[in-house]
Structure 1
Amino acid sequence: MSGGFSAPRLGLIHEGMSARVESGEVAGLVALAARGSDVHVEALGMSDLAAGAKMSRDTIFRIASMTKPITAVAAMILVEETRLRLDEPVTRLLPELADRKVLRSLNSEPDDTVPANRPITLRDLLTFTFGFGATMSPPGTYPIQKRVADAGLGPGPNPSPLSPDDWIERFAGLPLMHQPGERWMYHTGSDVLAVLIARAAEMPFDQFLAERIFTPLGMKDTGFAIPDAKRARLARCYERDEDGKLKVSPMGLDAVNSAGSTGLLSTADDYLAFARMLLGNGRLGKTRILSRPSVELMTMDHLTPAQKALSPFAPGFWDLNGWGFGVSVVTRRNGLGPMPGSYGWDGGFGTSWRNDPPEAMTSIFLSQRMMQSPDDLAIATDFLTLAYQAIDD
């Protein structure tokens, strides 16, 4: 598909997103839509209200869970090199996770367990089906939630300050919540992946990402820490108070450690390079990161209907989506786009990315307002609608 965007219709993106900034819904945003050689970017509002700093195309954002797809790509690099294998037990490199215990039921006390039916595999981690993750319930609903919180391992937008070895040792002291392969549970699989990747690569996780993904793709502003020289470009993070007004979020701290699930900082153009590499079946220009078969495997739905039925998430999510390796995958069209076969993911600090292979299109939305409910994705969804209405063929 060779078409781009209609210039007059791109004006609707500016109008629609400007209105959301002017209403005070977000302090500012960067919205990018790319199709072929046609790249449209809106940088609107402020990156820091108190400092009076304007949002710009090269503003640096905390991308939170948009880290997860990058972690999955890192794992697949090692699969291609046969340093990791999809269906091999992870205990070869993570002996801490041998002989797992599993809660008798989610309502059980943390010490009321049964043996795991089988070992955890890399495929389980990539598809979030290894038996542990966010319960999608208020704190205190299940006894295991307190044990997880006490261990400092609760899901959240900021990475753990623990070293990888300390993290996996502490995690190994917890039971799984469900049997491996039984159901999908969000988040924690990517953190286990980061430790596994570091051991397979025999180097720190952040170094592996820099050497094998960021540097080859020219992602010069992406990493888990921000140099002092770039700090002025880091957007301030906000959340809404009881009246819906923006206030500085205490959660929006700088990343303090590398993690597979969250913590990366990036820009719209850096993430576009990563997205276009995947849209190019693993290659950006002359640089190949993955093979086409790996990208195809990553971006197909790996969950069965039975797994989805057992896996609570946002209302209606599984009606339209499945899960690949670190990305959601669109299974049914429900609007102007994305099309079935599209994939991507969102971040808890107000970020979102989708690749749409049928339309040869990438969309990236970046703001810095903490997600406090599923409704907070509405502004990114509206941007998607505005991007798709601008398609010109």
Structure 2
Amino acid sequence: MAAHVERGTVPGAITLVSRRGEVHVDVIGKQAVDGAPLRRDSLFRISSMTKPITAVGALTLVEECVLRLDDPVDDVLPELAGRRVLRTVESELEDTVPANRAITLRDLLTFRLGFGMLMGPYPIVAAANERSVAVGPPNPAEYPAPDEWLRRLGELPLMAQPGEKWLYHTGSDVLGVLLERVSGKPLDEFLGERVFEPLGMKDTAFFTSDVDRLVMGYHDDLTVYDPPAGQWSRRPEFLSGGAGLLSTVDDLSAFAHMMLSGGGHVLSRPTVELMTTDQLTPAQKAVSGFFPGYFDNRGWGFGVSVATAHTSLYHRPGRYGWDGGLGTSWQVDPGEELTGILLTQCAGFPDFSPVYQDFWTSVYQAIED
């Protein structure tokens, strides 16, 4: 990792590897290209690593029988009731058929609600962009308040029938709105009570006034994506359950160890096992993914990716976690009693990032017993 910093691939990186009670943390480089040194308590935009945290929040309500996995969400989210579905993904917005069934909580957790990331010049994508409900890089300032956001989403037809295919991201943002309505509290307050406070995650939040600790956000070409005094320096109207959180390496380690230990004081062991079990069918995988073959060696649980085949040194069956498109990664390997965290702030797709690949390769090559 130091070599990547020395070459200028990233200005800095924080890594944590924990196995069988032994923890190693390295803090390398700077908070910005010309900035102050990184600190162990530096804040990072964890983007899509927010998704597992939101899922855990929802599962605490499932355990209390406040929510049920296979109940429709219509009563709480009437904007999503009585859905219409595009006849084909290329169809105009008016060319629809009725939904075969209602959207459920399980659909939100597994991204099978019928709406999400879609690549291509389709009418539905243009319409979603116009309404600021499309899937793209996290930009908290661009989202309207939750009720208005959901109203706009409800104006659009679904891209696929509920339960038909995996479509990335939107399920977590809808889940965040659901949690606010069910709990009667803002999402940060709800997650604070259910996840952050029990685990001592004192620095995890949707914004910060402590901008001196917030790392400069970059695109993959090292042009600035978001400065410390930018979008995450003030409370947004929409608290994104899919990509909104800031966190630190130690807060994320506390979350990872809760999962590895079987839920700690937050969830039961059977719930963690369910959350980290592949929920996608072969038919759903065949029509889903970021690129062809994406699900050949992985599946999706509740808010986490689950490895299903041993296709690289670090891609091992049973390993689970998720990454953030702004340069972060978190994984748990129960078989090795191992957790790992990588924090940079240079955007990129993890599967193709040499920093990501080299970090995880280095983690696993160090295992001797």
Q: What TM bracket, shorter-length normalisation? A: over 0.9
Match of 1:205 among 172, 187, 209: 187
- In 2: Cα distance, 1:298 partner to 1:310 partner: 22
Measure the CA separation in 2 of the matches of 1:375 and 1:155. 19
1:319 and 2:296 matched: yes
Alignment of 1:230-245 (within 5 A): 230-241=210-221
Task: Say whether the 8 Å CA contact 1:314–1:374 is kept in structure 2.
Answer: no
1:77, 1:224 → 2: CA distance?
A: 20
User: Post-superposition shift, 1:375?
Assistant: 5.5
Q: Output the CA distance in 2 between the equivalents of 1:215 and 1:374.
A: 30
C-alpha distance in structure 1 between counterparts of 2:253 and 2:315, whole Å: 17
SS of aligned partner of 1:213: helix
The count of corresponding residues between Structure 1 and Structure 2 is 362
| Residue 367 (structure 1) aligns with | 344
Q: CA 1:220–1:374 in structure 2 vs 1: closer, same or farther (change >3 Å)?
A: closer
Q: How does 1:1-393 map to 2 (within 5 A)?
A: 17-50=1-34, 52-135=35-118, 137-138=119-120, 141-156=121-136, 157-159=138-140, 160-227=142-209, 230-241=210-221, 246-250=222-226, 253-255=230-232, 256=236, 257-283=238-264, 288-371=265-348, 373=349, 376-393=352-369
Contact 2:323–2:350 (8 Å) recurs in 1: no
Alignment-mate amino acid for residue 364 of structure 1: I
Do the aligned residues in 1 keep the contact of 2:332 with 2:340 (CA within 8 Å)?
yes
Between the aligned partners of 2:191 and 2:350, the Cα distance in structure 1 is: 30
Provide the TM-score with structure 2 as the length reference.
0.95
2:27 partner amino acid: A
Aligned residues of 2:13 and 2:27 also touching (Cα < 8 A): yes
> For 1:314-353, what per-residue CA distance to the aligned partner results, in whole angstroms no more than 9, with x for missing partners?
4542111000000000001122224211100010110011
Give the superposition deviation at 1:309: 0.4
Local SS of the residue matching 1:249? strand
User: Could you tell me whether the CA contact under 8 Å between 1:64 and 1:158 is conserved in 2?
Assistant: no
Question: How far apart are 1:201 and its partner, in Å?
Answer: 1.4
Query: Aligned AA for 1:24?
Result: G
- 1:238 maps to a residue whose letter is Y
Residues in 2 aligned to 1:339 and 1:178: alpha-carbon distance in whole angstroms: 31
C-alpha separation in 2, matches of 1:32 and 1:317? 27
Structure 1 stretch displaced more, 26-35 or 195-204? 195-204
Cα shift at 1:272: 0.5
CA contact (8 A) 1:322 1:331 kept: yes
CA contact (8 A) 1:78 1:200 kept: no
* Residue segments in structure 2 that go unaligned for 5+ positions in a row: none
- Name the counterpart of 1:4: none
Q: Verify the 8 A CA contact 1:338 1:356 in the aligned structure 2.
A: no
Supply the AA of the counterpart residue of 2:83: R
Q: For residues 177 and 184 of structure 1, what CA distance do their matches in structure 2 show? A: 11
Q: Secondary structure of 1:293's partner?
A: helix
* Cα deviation, residue 40, structure 1: 0.7
Root mean square deviation of aligned Cα: 1.5
For structure 1, the residue ranges without an aligned partner over 5 or more in a row are 1-16
The answer for the alignment partner of 1:14 in structure 2 is none
